[in-house]
Amino acid sequence: HGAAELDEMGAEVLPRRTPAPAWLPTAKAGEEGDFCLRSSDCAAGLCCARHFWSKICKPVLREGQVCTRHRRKGTHGLEIFQRCQCAEGLACRLQREHGPADASRLHTCQRH
């Protein structure tokens, strides 16, 4: 009782597993560049963002990195290359420049 099945050659037969479909998220968290459906599919420090017509795990933005500020709700979905949000404790704000007001419309992740 409890003995493993043996094939004709005497080798142990393991139960056959059907491979999971490629679109099905795996148990491990996705690394940078892996396909995802939502940010919870990605490892810590990454978010799930659009890249062309699919979504991949990308790094959460750190201080000083360029970020995207959305003026209207819902415009994030129109981007073909989405960026992640700024990391915790940072906000996406207009970069402070020395010079004429509004010379640069660039936003960066800055401390609150």
For 64, residues 6+ apart whose C-beta sits below 8 A from its C-beta are 108, 109, 110
> pTM for this structure?
0.64
pLDDT in tens, 33-48: 999 999 999 999 999 9
Alpha carbons 90 and 54: distance in angstroms, whole number: 27
**Residue that the structure tokens 């939502």 belong to:** 38
Here the tokens at position 35 are 């396909």
Q: Lowest mean pLDDT of 15-24, 30-39, 44-53, 84-93, name the range.
A: 15-24
Whose CA is closest to 82, among 53, 110, 102?
A: 53
Q: Classify residue 109 by its DSSP letter.
A: E
Here the tokens at position 73 are 């709700």
Q: Which CATH number fits domain 29-59: 3.20.20.140, 3.40.50.720, 2.40.50.140, 2.10.80.10?
A: 2.10.80.10
pLDDT in tens, 59-80: 999 999 999 887 666 655 567 8
Q: Where are the domains of the chain?
A: 29-59, 62-72+88-111
Dihedral of alpha carbons 88, 94, 99, 101, sign? negative
